[in-house]
Structure 1
Amino acid sequence: MKYTNGLLSALFTDRWKVETGDKHIVYTKKGTRVRIANLDIHEIRLHTGIIWDKLTIVVSGQPPTGIEGLSSETAKNISADITKNVKRCLVGQIQKHQSALSDAMSRIHLLMEEKRYLAHADIRRWIRSAPDIGKTLANPFFSADELPNQIQSLIRPYTELIAPDSRKLKVRNEKFVEWALDYYDELFGKLEKYPLTDEQRRSAVINEDRNLLIAAAGSGKSSTIIAKVAYLVESGLAKTSDILVLAYNKDAQLEIDERLQNLKGTVANFKRPIKAKTFHSLGLEIIANVEGEKPSISQLASATKSRLARLFTKLIEELTKQDPVFAANWRNFHVLYKVPSADLDSIKTIRGYCLTSAPMEQISGIA
């Protein structure tokens, strides 16, 4: 089918022409010709305007193509025409590679049966391993309705699995998490001084591409990291040489280092020690490997809290002797603003805790 805009539209958006076909569409405007394969189209967006509409074609790995100055009817017709052709191409792609379909489906079936959490990266790897089949099934336009019943029954269980935000994948992974929590219960119970909480255990066995854990100070983030390392090694999902543990400062790094060493007698496969690093030390190591030498930086970048405290104490002593203005400000700070920390063990109510953390001007207004 061929489409073009009218004279009035051309006054504002220039002349354009769209040709839809069995294998691709061609969009021409101001002498520029854009050719888009139907198999690469992943989405069509319609934008309704006051006078004219706009149609956007979203292509994998390329900038979207926008067609402006469309009447509402023309926009809908182009969208329907492209959608029909894309679906037909996708069905043809499956039929063309039918011989490889059984092998691809067998591999994803084996992947589903593995005793581990399936991350989105695992699904993407399967798609890359069978590009003709995987990319076709993953295309949002794909529908198995026009395929023979035998092929439909073969692929339908997996089209839901590889869909974005797949509910089937979530249900499958949740079943695995429940099994893993029970199977590794003894391991999680003896890793730290106190048994890990349910949330910490779930964080350890959920092995998604990226995990964001939000927790307050002292709530057990380091214990969760130790549990994650122990689980990955004990389950055989990773070797100690595959794991990098990072900490934000030297004190945390030393603490995690010590706790990692304690895993040797607890985790059977923990043979080669893991050394935690700070972000600074990792950066220095990478620079040294690339440049052949370490850059010179301040020793304070990796100093412990106790060393920093000694340094600041010394600086304050020197400034109070040398600078009368600083000395006066320092005295005023201690007299007017420095408030002793509350004894949290003595607080029995939520109201009492709120009062200890509220500014003095707020407390004065509370009966």
Structure 2
Amino acid sequence: MLDLDGLKAVNDTLGHAVGDALIVTVADILRERLRETDVAARLGGDEFAILVPGADASAALAVATDLLRRLREGAPLASAHGAPTASACVGIALYGPGRALTDEELMTRADLALYDAKDAGRGCARVFSSPERDPVFRQAERWSDRIRSALAEDRFVLLGQPIRSLHGDPVERQELLLRMIGENGELLLPSAFLLAAERSSLIQAIDRWVVRRAATELAAHQAAGSPVSFAVNLSAKSMTDPAMAAYVREAIADAGADGSGLVFEITETAAVVNVSRARSFAQALTASGCELALDDFGAGFTSFRYLKHLDFDYVKLDGTFVRDLSTSHTSQCLVQALAEMAGNLGKRTIAEHVCDEATEEWLRAHGIDYVQGFHVGAPAPLRTPVPQKSAGSVAGGSSPRWA
């Protein structure tokens, strides 16, 4: 596994044309250095995978070292434009006789070795050590097993954090936040398990669970006559999965829901992996009646590029601009400019990380449409409505009951 360090900085400071040229340069170096029997592929964004048949650890390290040297020599592509040069790291995992590995396990080992290389500094290569000697791998494997068990036993749960309208929108809005129920019944935050899920490719299975559960919850609210909108987060891997849009359509249809009640939040990090696939995904979701939100808006200059090329309905202002809004003149100027631009483009705005009344009032006065944060409400279990019984069967039967 070969990963570029600094591609996002190149995109943000020099533009995507330079970043794309850097990717092409890396591909050219791989083609020139590797043998005809080797296989190289771009996995997405700044990550490549390379298969080197017939190589032991020493030979693989020699290939990796030579590739890193050639990449350093090719890096002036970026520095010539006045930005820091991008570098790379390589993680190596061995397979073959005596190493009965699935493709998922092989990728996980190479990915773990890649993280070791990143921890050691830029321009490094590392070989994955045996599971018996590697506590990081054993921990990742344990988390992978726990995630698989949680999926099989339906031990994930969605909480809802309210999103408040500042200008009279009657629809109840919530962002759906994922938790895993531990073996002892405790609720585990995503920070405990999502990284392991991404490394082991279980993140797409989790995303599919979230989509199907969100569609079911939405259908229940709609059947009870309770207008609601749920914001759902998706990983970069799911957003660029060609089958994901069809899965979303299927989940909505199976639940009997109206897709207009789902807003899929996509981060800049997810969109940068593959803009063309992101555009196709966005178009497919829009055709299903769903809406889209660009999360962490303003965190990088590339945010503006996605507003041009992807049809978002909402922009969610990055929380770093909002936390100190009541006391920082700089943050006020930035938020006001971002909000004015989004409004001129016909996008609705959401400010997250709102922590006090003064911040909410400032946002209201400057045209922000929605706010979210612990001042508005903390994540809480979803209230799933129970279908109404016929009139007369229960006293006050015209009012919905809640579970």
**TM-score range, shorter-chain basis?**
under 0.3
Length-normalised TM-score, structure 1: 0.25
Question: Which structure exhibits the higher relative contact order, with contacts defined as CA atoms closer than 8 Å and separated by 6 or more residues?
Answer: 2
* Richer in helix (by share): 1
Instruction: Determine which structure has the larger strand proportion and give its number.
Output: 2
**Structure ID, larger Rg:** 1
Please, what TM-score do these two structures have when normalized by structure 2?
0.24
